[in-house]
């Protein structure tokens, strides 16, 4: 452990002894802080189903631990009596997950037939049970190494190789005819279309969902429902559609206070590495191209008072693992990177707007500045570890526990915002009946700290660079890739520990499948606090403690009330009908209205048809890129809000939506949103209140977010599935 880690730990210990413990209801920052180190201990023992290694394993064992003889899984559910039950997250360091049951020909690997989530389907037969009894006392064999297909890893390859080596797993760098346990893709889920089992390190649809416009839309929907909770994202407008509204609002701000001269940052929708980004102070300075050539972009309020270190603006790159979407499991890397500008910061003025080395923290831009400092040290230079920056701040008396707690909240809320769309993509790309892999993904969150220490989300990268070397001029005119110690320290840890968490032989045994669109009740398994979070999931002993900390479901209580749009998405998926669809046709929409008994004298079926046509037409922009015509999720959400407003006129938007959801679900029976109903009751949907002051512009806010949405819906151009195949490789930002 480096010295500064130790120092900060001491400081934190002192803070704790001074009674500065985080409030119980808030995120517990101490345990999660990047400057602390988790205690490593093996997972609690549990029993599991296993076979001997290899694909032709012919026996099934019950692995027992702690010497208890039991035919129960760790949840206490008997294994017998399930004709074809699904068992999730099988967890044992010694268990094989691929099972060919003696005499049955049934294979126990991958997903259940009903679900694409992280389950293992288990088909028992009497034969199995007999064999299990026979083998109950056999010693487990040494497991085969986990196999990883790295043929599509691209720029992650070096860090991946190091990680696989540390874990003593087996790499297949040119691919493998037989299935691998894990497939590492450099760009998207679709890098290799032929995977039918195992785990892929990308979710279908993630790239599209995290494009600037889609992310802005998803957050905006959440801002409508939970304005106080989603105040960590700068006010944004989508261009060119919202140009009029943008200029009107800015004019009103300026008119209300002549001294106000806010600055805005314009970012092209598909851009990265700061490409095409520029600052403006007047809507007239937008480089708008009209007509078919119109460039889509987000124009965003510029955070003009960032926190500075050494007079320089910097941002945080935080690595976040989405281990599973159902149940939702989020891990945050305790160590991240900070990227520094290379020119001292000044608040934006007409004169300095174009000084990119002052305003943009992108590595790819600043590395071109003569001032860029490549450093072997973690706490100097233009790229530093997050812990070293937090240490600096702690030394100045900053409450870094609070900062870290706010960052965790920002991450969980952002993931919750994109989850509904992600689930629709998931069921479309891997329909429940189709064989397919399960998915996980490392995301790169770019976060800016404001001067008042409030974290602000800049963007989320679906392909954060995992490069651990950088180009350097080793002699005049001679460039070479040289190792970057800071990158290596952070990124290899993130990849290695992601792999450890995804180890197929180490999954925890849990119960109850959670189908995306059909099947039985969805039930999210919420481990109790103090479960295996933060512990080393293997018994290797020689590996360091995990650098990834679970934050969800750990903090379910504080955030589950936000998962409202997911319930709308569950309805949407239910009525999609044909597997693989992402859009609802008019008949399906009518069926939804009828089944949920929403039509009455105020909402005739004729007006339902008009609503469908009206909303679908306005959202039809994305059709050119989509697989089929109809109503996408975001349009459905708008329709749902509209229906909720008509039905429960006297309530505020959020209560309208909750009431309509309750109504719909009550007519649909147990299939829809059981998990959600349990955790998202109406009372839970009340705001918790912002902990930190709102960011942004002195908003005269002539239009409320909900009204804003309705007002702009006339010229609103949704961006639901823009060019899914035109993806870029991961690049250093």
Contact 459, 127 (CB under 8 A): no
Closest to 549 (Cα-Cα) out of 36, 192, 26, 22: 36
CB neighbour list of residue 107: distance below 8 Å, 6 or more residues apart: 98, 99, 100, 101
Sites for ligand ADP among residues 424-463 (CB under 6 A): 446, 448, 458-459
Indicate the residue among 372 and 572 with the shorter CB distance to ligand ADP.
Answer: 372
315 vs 329, beta carbon nearer ligand ADP: 315
By CB under 6 A, residue 118 contacts ligand ADP: no
Other Cβ atoms within 10 Å of 578 Cβ, number: 9
Q: Is 302 in the site for ligand ADP (CB under 6 A)?
A: yes
Complete DSSP assignment for 213-236: HHHHHHHHHHHHH-TTTTTTS--E
Provide, rounded to whole angstroms, the least separation between the CB of residue 83 and ligand ADP.
Answer: 50
Binding piece for ligand ADP, criterion CB under 6 A, among 273-281, 317-325, 366-374, 479-487: 273-281
Contact range with ligand ADP by CB under 6 A, out of 66-74, 179-187, 266-274, 426-434: 266-274
CB of 276 to ligand ADP, least distance (A): 8
Q: Is 214 in the site for ligand ADP (CB under 6 A)?
A: no
Q: State the Cα–Cα distance between residues 590 and 728, nearest whole angstrom.
A: 39
Short-list 210, 214, 220, CA closest to 464: 210
With CB under 6 A as the contact rule, which of the stretches 8-16, 117-125, 268-276, 675-683 interacts with ligand ADP?
268-276
Q: Determine contact, residues 161/184, Cβ cutoff 8 Å.
A: no
User: Where are the alpha helices (H) located in 228-375, listed in sequence order?
Assistant: 243-256, 356-359, 363-366
Count the site residues for ligand ADP by CB under 6 A.
Answer: 21
| Range in contact with ligand ADP (rule: CB under 6 A) among 142-150, 263-271, 370-378, 472-480 | 263-271
Rank residues 208 and 446 by Cβ distance to ligand ADP and give the closer one.
Answer: 446
* The pairing of beta strand 441-449 with beta strand 236-239: unpaired
Residue 85 interacting with ligand ADP (CB under 6 A): no
The yes or no reply on residue 534 touching ligand ADP (CB under 6 A) is no
Question: Is 233 a residue that touches ligand ADP (CB under 6 A)?
Answer: no
Contact flag: residue 338 with ligand ADP (CB under 6 A): no
What sign for the dihedral angle of Cα 665, 666, 669, 675? positive
Residue 531 CB burial class (10 angstroms; 0-12, 13-18, ≥19): middle
Contact 208, 722 (CB under 8 A): yes
Enumerate residues 25-44 that contact ligand ADP by CB under 6 A.
none
Q: Is 265 in the site for ligand ADP (CB under 6 A)?
A: yes
Q: CB-wise, 174 or 726, nearer to ligand ADP?
A: 726
| The residue to which tokens 């990834």 are assigned | 548
User: Under 8 Å CB-to-CB from 312, ≥6 apart: which residues?
Assistant: 340, 341, 342, 343, 344, 345
Cα–Cα distance between 376 and 517 in angstroms, integer?
50
Whose Cβ is closer to ligand ADP: residue 32's or residue 459's? 459
- CA count, 13 A, side-chain hemisphere, 602: 10
Site for ligand ADP in 142-171 (CB under 6 A): none
Separation between Cα atoms, residue 296 and residue 719, nearest integer Å: 10
> Is residue 281 a contact partner of residue 262, using CB atoms and an 8 Å limit?
yes
733 binds ligand ADP (CB under 6 A): yes
How many residues does this entry show for the chain? 733
The span of 81-89, 356-364, 411-419, 714-722 binding ligand ADP (CB under 6 A) equals 356-364
Question: Between residues 121 and 277, which has the closer beta carbon with respect to ligand ADP?
Answer: 277
Contact yes or no for 362/339 (Cβ under 8 A): yes
Nearer to ligand ADP, 274 or 673 (CB): 274
Cβ proximity to ligand ADP: between 316 and 653 the closer is: 316
Q: Does 283 bind ligand ADP (CB under 6 A)?
A: no
Identify which range of 283-291, 359-367, 662-670, 702-710 contacts ligand ADP by CB under 6 A: 359-367
| Residue 466 makes contact with ligand ADP by CB under 6 A | no
229 binds ligand ADP (CB under 6 A): no
Beta bridge partners of 331: 321, 550
Q: Is 362 a binder of ligand ADP (CB under 6 A)? A: yes
**Distance between CA atoms of residues 199 and 655, nearest Å:** 39
Quickly count: other Cβ atoms within 10 Å of residue 142's Cβ.
7
| Rounded distance between C-alpha atoms, residue 286 and residue 239, angstroms | 10
Q: Minimum distance between the CB of residue 37 and ligand ADP, rounded to whole angstroms?
A: 29
Tell whether residue 369 is a contact of ligand ADP (CB under 6 A): no
Interface region with ligand ADP, contact rule CB under 6 A, candidates 267-275, 488-496, 568-576, 618-626: 267-275
Question: Could you tell me if 114 and 519 are in contact, meaning their C-beta atoms sit under 8 angstroms apart?
Answer: yes
For position 503 contacting ligand ADP by CB under 6 A, the verdict is: no
315 binds ligand ADP (CB under 6 A): yes
Residue from 267, 392, 467, 561 that binds ligand ADP (CB under 6 A)? 267
Our finding on whether 277 is near ligand ADP (CB under 6 A) is yes
Residue 348, interface with ligand ADP (CB under 6 A)?
no
CA-based nearest residue to 485, from 505, 504, 468? 468
Give the binding site for ligand ADP (CB under 6 A).
234, 265, 267, 271-275, 277, 300, 302-303, 315, 360-362, 446, 448, 458-459, 733
């Amino acid at each position: 452990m480096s010295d500064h880690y130790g120092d900060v730990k001491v400081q934190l210990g002192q803070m704790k002894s001074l009674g500065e413990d985080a409030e119980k209801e808030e995120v517990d920052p101490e345990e999660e802080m990047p400057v602390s180190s988790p205690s490593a201990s093996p997972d609690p023992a549990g029993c599991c189903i296993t076979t001997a290694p290899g694909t032709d394993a012919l026996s099934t064992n019950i692995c027992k631990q702690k010497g208890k003889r039991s035919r129960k899984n760790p949840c206490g559910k008997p294994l017998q009596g399930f004709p074809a039950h699904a068992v999730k997250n099988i967890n044992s360091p010694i268990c094989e997950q691929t099972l060919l049951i003696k005499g049955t020909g049934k294979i126990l690997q991958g997903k259940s037939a009903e679900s694409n989530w992280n389950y293992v389907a288990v088909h028992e037969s009497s034969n199995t049970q007999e064999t299990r009894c026979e083998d109950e006392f056999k010693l487990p064999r040494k497991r085969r190494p986990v196999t990883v297909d790295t043929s599509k890893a691209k720029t992650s390859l070096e860090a991946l190789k190091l990680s696989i080596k540390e874990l003593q797993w087996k790499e297949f760098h040119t691919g493998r005819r037989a299935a691998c346990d894990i497939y590492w893709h450099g760009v998207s889920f679709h890098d290799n279309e032929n995977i039918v089992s195992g785990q892929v390190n990308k979710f279908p649809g993630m790239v599209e969902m995290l494009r600037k416009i889609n992310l802005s839309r998803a957050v905006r929907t959440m801002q409508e429902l939970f304005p106080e909770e989603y105040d960590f994202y700068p006010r944004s407008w989508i261009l060119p559609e919202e140009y009029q509204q943008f200029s009107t609002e800015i004019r009103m701000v300026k008119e209300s206070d002549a001294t106000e001269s806010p600055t805005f940052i314009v970012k092209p929708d598909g851009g990265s590495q700061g490409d095409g980004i520029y600052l403006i102070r007047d809507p007239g300075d937008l480089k708008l191209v009209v007509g078919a050539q119109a460039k889509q972009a987000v124009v965003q309020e510029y955070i003009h008072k960032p926190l500075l270190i050494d007079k320089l603006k910097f941002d945080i790159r935080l690595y976040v693992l989405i281990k599973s979407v159902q149940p939702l499991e989020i891990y945050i890397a305790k160590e991240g990177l900070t990227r520094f500008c290379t020119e001292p910061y000044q608040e934006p003025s007409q004169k300095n707007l174009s000084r990119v080395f002052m305003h943009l923290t992108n590595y790819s831009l600043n590395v071109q500045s003569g001032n860029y400092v490549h450093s072997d040290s973690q706490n100097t230079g233009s790229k530093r570890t997050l812990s070293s920056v937090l240490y600096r701040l702690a030394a100045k008396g900053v409450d870094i526990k609070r900062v870290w707690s706010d960052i965790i909240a920002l991450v969980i809320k952002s993931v919750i915002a994109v989850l509904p769309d992600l689930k629709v993509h998931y069921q479309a790309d891997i329909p429940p009946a189709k064989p397919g892999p399960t998915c996980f993904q490392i995301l790169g969150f770019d976060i800016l700290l404001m001067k008042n220490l409030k974290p602000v989300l800049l963007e989320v990268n679906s392909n954060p660079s995992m490069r651990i070397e950088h180009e350097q001029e080793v002699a005049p005119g001679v460039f070479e890739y040289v190792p970057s110690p800071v990158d290596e320290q952070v990124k290899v840890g993130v990849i290695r520990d992601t792999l450890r968490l995804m180890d197929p032989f180490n999954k925890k045994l849990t119960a109850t499948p959670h189908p995306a669109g059909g099947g039985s009740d969805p039930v999210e398994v919420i481990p109790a606090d103090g479960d295996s979070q933060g512990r080393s999931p293997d018994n290797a002993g020689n590996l360091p403690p995990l650098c990834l900390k679970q934050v969800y479901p750990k903090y379910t209580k504080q955030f589950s009330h936000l998962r409202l749009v997911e319930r709308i998405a569950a309805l949407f998926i239910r009525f999609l009908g044909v597997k693989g669809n992402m859009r609802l046709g008019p008949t399906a929409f009518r069926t939804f209205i009828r089944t949920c008994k929403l039509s009455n004298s105020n909402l005739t079926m004729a007006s339902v048809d008009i609503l469908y046509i009206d909303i679908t037409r306005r959202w039809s922009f994305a059709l050119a890129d989509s697989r089929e015509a109809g109503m996408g999720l975001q349009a459905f959400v708008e329709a749902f809000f509209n229906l909720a407003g008509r039905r429960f006129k006297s309530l505020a938007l959020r209560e309208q939506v909750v009431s309509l959801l309750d109504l719909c679900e009550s007519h649909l029976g147990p299939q829809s949103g059981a998990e959600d109903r349990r955790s998202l009751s109406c009372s839970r949907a009340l705001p918790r209140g912002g902990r930190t002051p709102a960011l942004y512009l002195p908003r005269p806010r002539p239009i409320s977010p909900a009204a804003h949405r309705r007002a702009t819906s006339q010229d609103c151009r949704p961006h639901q599935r823009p060019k899914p195949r035109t993806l870029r490789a991961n690049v250093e930002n």
